[in-house]
Amino acid sequence: MGTVAVQGLCKSFGKVQALDGVTLDVPDGSFFVVLGPSGAGKTTTLRAIAGLEKLDAGSVRLDGRDATADTPAARDLAMVFQSYALYPRHTVYENIASPLRARRRSSSEIAAAVERMASLLHIERLLQRRPAQLSGGEMQRVALARALVRSPRAFLMDEPLTNLDLKLRVEMRTELTRIHRSLGATFVYVTNDQVEALSMADQVAVLKDGKVQQVGTPTEVYERPANQWVAGFVGSPPISLLACHAEGDRLVGAEGWTLPRPGWTTAQDGRPLLLGLRAEDLSVERRGDASLSGELYGLEPLGDRTVVDVRVGTKILKVKARPTVTGTPGEPLLVTVDLDRAHLFDAGTGVSLSGAGR
Amino acid sequence: MGVSVNEAVSTDPVRDHPPPARRRGGRGRSALEVALLTVLAIVMLFPVLWMIETSIKENRDVYAIPAKFFNFQFTMDHFKDVFVGAGGGRSALSVSFLNSVVVAGVSTVLATVLGVPAAWAYSRFAVKAKKDQLFFILSTRFMPPVVVVIPIFLMYRQVGLIDTELGLILIYAAFNLPFTIWMMKGFVDEVPAEYEDAAMLDGYTRLQAFRRFTLPLLVPGIAATAVFALIFSWNEFVFAIFLTSSDDVRTAPPAIAGLIGGTTVDWGLVAASSVVFALPVLVFAYLVRKHLVAGVTLGAVRR
């Protein structure tokens, strides 16, 4: 068993409100990612679960039992820190053995467990070194081994891949997913990297300014963002947002364009809206009836595709196109819009108006 | 000697000159440096040298005019007098040295044992009005001992701590504690709190986490801080002379000072006891010098 549930977490540091009523439900055995920009309260949430942070309000329940007042040791959790926090005076072996030593396991049991971890993470030859003699990737593996050497209730990971170079990060992403599957344990994983969140998570909680914006599967968060902010934060290149309002069967843009009003929207006429268009739902090739006219602003070739920047009025639209696309800046372009996949948000509150209808 | 400390110190800019200027100066410049540094060394070390010389001179050579730098009669009698009394038993001075060892040692241990956990607490925990508290702690060091020695004398008389080693130990520990807390807080701040966080998640209690993972990293800082506290307690004079009177309790500084002031002064004995007095701190500082340098550069200075 390993469910983690937090209810109404509040925590302020001086004048900064780090957590403002965070409520999360982490199901047993899930890979639960807490995603948000820096300063959103992700790490504070994780530290609150671990018992390292004294809360102003709220409760932490582990396996259904109230653990708000428990010490970190009593919570039976393991954590990987962003800085790894390997004990500098101890060898790699002793670092990995530490959770077992704290629990007074026999030395033969410890030796067996450390060997097992070392071979799982391919760090057998590092066991007698000290942390200062390791590379970043090796330290990361040791930190992971120290967490995995026990079978705790849940694993907490605080941006464990952030300090690695890109190639290693991609490798470790796959490896962590593999480890999660083979252990079947609960992972609570904090990151500011939406690619990590979308590629690894069963469930994603998007956090901003100490508040939960949306909880859902990666697909839900990407396809049906709860509000304009989530839509803008998740996805690369970022979603393009255009001010508009509904008028009968048409959407009229602030820049003067008109599009057919999507069937699913129920917004009343005249209400200020934001039309959100993802790069892959726009095209500069197809000719459809729903299109916007603009001019070519710039090209970003990315190898497998090219992102075309198209200026419509004063706004820049990001359009995903084939890598073979060419053009000169300033030339007129027609951008076809897949309105079935477009998003509409209330311009005042940012709340999505498209979620329920589809 | 003819060279003041200021003049000697002014060699520093010469050293700081960019390399071209240095090369133009060539050997002459560096010879000048050597000469000035030699003068500086002589100025600073002369009193120490004279003390050592006096301590090993026969009494008639001590008073010789002109002073004898080299051709004096060598003797170790003064050192014998420091430790062995006139009747053949232990001398009063040797008791004072023992008292100094006990008082300085115990008060340093006390200040460290109390100060290190306090510094850890101030570094790690959210304490109400932390800055005000730290400033208050420091403010106890704003006035020199001589300002408070009379009230403390009166208080000590009430509680019976006058002329006791315990009395000196307590007052020295009290004076060293603020310093210990401040200096150690700098060292604790340098050790990432995440080691303790990680240890607590491993299953240790907060205190175990501190003892097993943070404390070993603080050893250089503790050594540096303890040396400073020890030097203060060892050298302290004002409290010692006011608060103690009997030979059994008196520490070395007032005891040595007490040698001066009779009708005749045995300068050989004064010098010998001063040498004996200076040695322990020198030896101790030498033994922990590695920690001392590491400590001072790692801790208080860099912040």
CA A266 – CA A101 distance, rounded (Å): 61
Interval A178-204: pLDDT, tens: 999 999 999 999 999 999 999 999 999
CA B28 – CA B25 distance, rounded (Å): 6
Q: What is the mean pLDDT of chain A?
A: 91
Q: How confident is the model at residue B294 (pLDDT cuts 50, 70, 90)?
A: low
Instruction: Please indicate whether residue A34 or residue B267 has the higher confidence score (pLDDT).
Output: A34
Residue B210 is classified by DSSP as: I
Q: What is the dihedral of CA B16, B19, B22, B23, to 10 degrees?
A: 170
Q: What is the pLDDT of residue A157?
A: 95
Q: Is the pLDDT of residue B21 over 60?
A: no
B201 touches chain A (CB under 8 A): yes
Q: What is the pLDDT of residue B91?
A: 85
Q: What is the pLDDT of residue A59?
A: 95
Q: Evaluate the omega torsion of the peptide bond into residue B66 and state whether it is cis, within 30 degrees of 0.
A: yes
Smallest Cβ–Cβ distance between B216 and the set A54, A78, A89 belongs to A89
Q: B206 to chain A, minimum CA–CA distance in Å?
A: 9
Instruction: Please indicate whether residue B12 or residue A49 has the higher confidence score (pLDDT).
Output: A49
Cα first-last separation, chain B: 40
A282-283/A31-35 β-pairing: unpaired
Interval A60-115: pLDDT, tens: 999 999 999 999 999 999 999 999 999 998 999 999 999 999 999 999 999 999 99
Q: What is the pLDDT of residue B1?
A: 36
Contact at CB, A87 and B198, closer than 8 angstroms: yes
In the numeric block, which tokens belong to residue A65?
Answer: 């039992």
Q: How confident is the model at residue B5 (pLDDT cuts 50, 70, 90)?
A: very low
A80-84, A315-319, B8-12, B104-108: range with lowest mean pLDDT: B8-12
Smallest Cβ–Cβ distance between B201 and the set A77, A83, A88 belongs to A77
Q: How confident is the model at residue B30 (pLDDT cuts 50, 70, 90)?
A: confident
Q: How confident is the model at residue B303 (pLDDT cuts 50, 70, 90)?
A: very low
CA A305 – CA A309 distance, rounded (Å): 13
Q: Is the pLDDT of residue B284 over 50?
A: yes
**Contact (CB, 8 A) for A320 and A282:** yes
Segment B49-70 mean pLDDT: 84
Q: A134 to chain B, minimum CA–CA distance in Å?
A: 17
Assign domain B92-298 one CATH number from 3.30.450.40, 1.10.10.10, 1.10.3720.10, 3.40.720.10. 1.10.3720.10
Segment B59-77 mean pLDDT: 81
Q: How confident is the model at residue A285 (pLDDT cuts 50, 70, 90)?
A: confident
As to burial, measured by CB atoms within 10 angstroms (0-12 exposed, 13-18 middle, 19+ buried), residue B284 is middle
B191 touches chain A (CB under 8 A): no
Residue-by-residue DSSP string for A263-314: TT--PPTT--EEEEE-GGGEESS---SSEEEEEEEEEEE-SS-EEEEEEETT
B199 touches chain A (CB under 8 A): yes
CA B189 – CA B298 distance, rounded (Å): 11
Q: What is the dihedral of CA B288, B291, B297, B299, to 10 degrees?
A: -110
Closest CA to B237 of B145, B136, B161: B145
In the numeric block, which tokens belong to residue B52?
Answer: 């050592």
Interval B132-167: pLDDT, tens: 988 988 888 788 888 889 999 999 999 999 999 999
**Domains of chain B by residue range:** 5-83, 92-298
Q: Is the pLDDT of residue B202 over 90?
A: yes
Interface A–B counts its CB contacts (< 8 A) at: 58
Domains, chain A: 4-225 (3.40.50.300), 232-346 (2.40.50.140)
Q: A83 to chain B, minimum CA–CA distance in Å?
A: 8
Bridge partners (DSSP) of residue B157 are none
Would you give the distance in Å from CA B11 to the centre of its chain? 28
B263 phi, psi to nearest 5 deg:
-70, -40
Q: What is the pLDDT of residue B11?
A: 38
Q: What is the pLDDT of residue A107?
A: 93
Interval B162-197: pLDDT, tens: 999 999 999 999 999 999 999 999 999 989 999 999
Interval B69-127: pLDDT, tens: 777 788 888 888 888 877 777 888 889 999 999 999 999 999 999 999 999 999 999 88
> At CB < 8 A and 24+ separation, what contacts does A49-54 make?
A49/A4, A49/A6, A49/A75, A49/A77, A49/A156, A49/A188, A50/A75, A50/A77, A50/A79, A50/A156, A50/B197, A50/B201, A51/A75, A51/A77, A51/B200, A52/B197, A52/B200, A52/B201, A53/A11, A54/A11, A54/B126
Q: How confident is the model at residue B296 (pLDDT cuts 50, 70, 90)?
A: low
CA geometry: angle B88, B93, B99, nearest 5 deg: 120
Helix (H, G, I), strand (E, B) or coil at A316: strand
Q: Is the pLDDT of residue A263 over 80?
A: no
Q: A202 to chain B, minimum CA–CA distance in Å?
A: 25
Q: What is the pLDDT of residue B61?
A: 82
Q: Is the pLDDT of residue B7 over 50?
A: no
CA B277 – CA B113 distance, rounded (Å): 25
**Contact (CB, 8 A) for B210 and B196:** yes
Instruction: Please indicate whether residue B267 or residue B300 has the higher confidence score (pLDDT).
Output: B267
A243-252, A268-277, B84-93, B193-202: range with lowest mean pLDDT: B84-93
CA A38 – CA A334 distance, rounded (Å): 37
Q: What is the pLDDT of residue A45?
A: 95
